[in-house]
Structure 1
Amino acid sequence: IFLAGLEGKQRLLAGLEGERRLLAGLEGERRLSAGLEGERRLYVVLEGERRLSAGLEGERRLSAGLEGECRLSAGLEGERRLYVVLEGERRLYVVLEGERRLSAGLEGERRLSAGLEGERRLSAGLEGERRLLAGPDG
């Protein structure tokens, strides 16, 4: 009976030991599971950061693109303004050139008028000379 009692105690101890090992195993599995879960969370965080970083990078590229479009638009606007200025200068030049031509035309008319006036004076002078040569009797 004593030996049977010891044997029973050993089995009980062995059972308790087995339970401890089982508990240790389950605890180990829990830790492993917790570790994997932690890794998953870490991965999710890192993945989220990557996506956030990619999003910000995308926004930067979008911003750079829009900025580039603004600069392009500003450049085209600048070209338009330059063209308007040059066109304005061309028009101003045409106006000034027209005024020069008008002035030259008026000057030419004045010279023509002066020439005709001179011819009249010359004609009057010749007429006077003829009268002088003809004398009082004609």
Structure 2
Amino acid sequence: MATKAFEEIAETFDFLDDWEDRYRHVIELGKAMPPMDPALQVPATKVDGCASQVWIMPVVQDGRFDFQGDSDAMIVRGLIAILHALYSGVPLTEVRAIDAQAELARLGLDEHLSSQRSNGLRAMVERIRLLAADAG
């Protein structure tokens, strides 16, 4: 059920043997992500439950979900980029059907993130699911 963009990330992770290389790749994904307008970084778009500052702003067009996101931590920006690849362009009615935990487990993120980062990632996924449900 994953998008083509997410499948490309999964293929790259399969190619990278070492978790250090994967970690660097996550950071690079975050650096490549367009910055979020600071005017959108407000309490209404802030994700609670993250140790870092995280903002997610939904963008819905033609019944498809997308979002802008940002963080003050580079690794978290990378995680946002991965979530963007997982959810961007998905019909609103299908966002909740994505098993984010299983998809992210394919990348080994469940095994290599600190408990704080894992909790933050779960908070971001839940926020995305709620935003899509509210928009639909």
Q: TM-score, with normalisation over the residues of structure 2? A: 0.17
Larger Rg over CA atoms:
1
Report which of the two has the higher share of strand: 2
Q: Say which structure, 1 or 2, has more relative contact order (CA 8 Å, 6+ apart).
A: 2
